Amino acid sequence: MPMTCRPGVRRAWARNMVPNLPAPIMPTRTGRPADGMLSTTVLAPTAETADALSTAFYVMGVERAIEFCRNRPELGAVLIAPSRNRGGWSIHRAGIADDEWLPETEQA
């Protein structure tokens, strides 16, 4: 799982994403692989916090992850979840302003 934390940078990030493989995260309450998310990327003050929350958000799902970020301005998240109505995926974000959000529009 990629992480970055450079001197002078205000936030660190971590991402959980393993395409086309069973989820590597298994919640202890179910004992089954988490399957509600395709990818979770978290912006946080430290790499440790970003890593921990990225894993937690993967298990929590979109609604609970967004609610968790709502009153925590130091956090941001980009969450990619399966879209059941289209068979594809949907992108959700929390704590990231429009001017900080630069989604890739074209593949190289």
* Residue pLDDT, tens place only, 6-47: 444 445 555 555 555 555 676 667 777 666 788 888 999 998
Q: What is the pLDDT of residue 105?
A: 58
Q: What is the pLDDT of residue 38?
A: 83
Q: pTM score, two decimals?
A: 0.68
Q: Which are the contacts of 25, defined by CB distance < 8 A and separation ≥ 6? A: 16, 33, 34, 55, 58, 59
Q: What is the pLDDT of residue 2?
A: 44
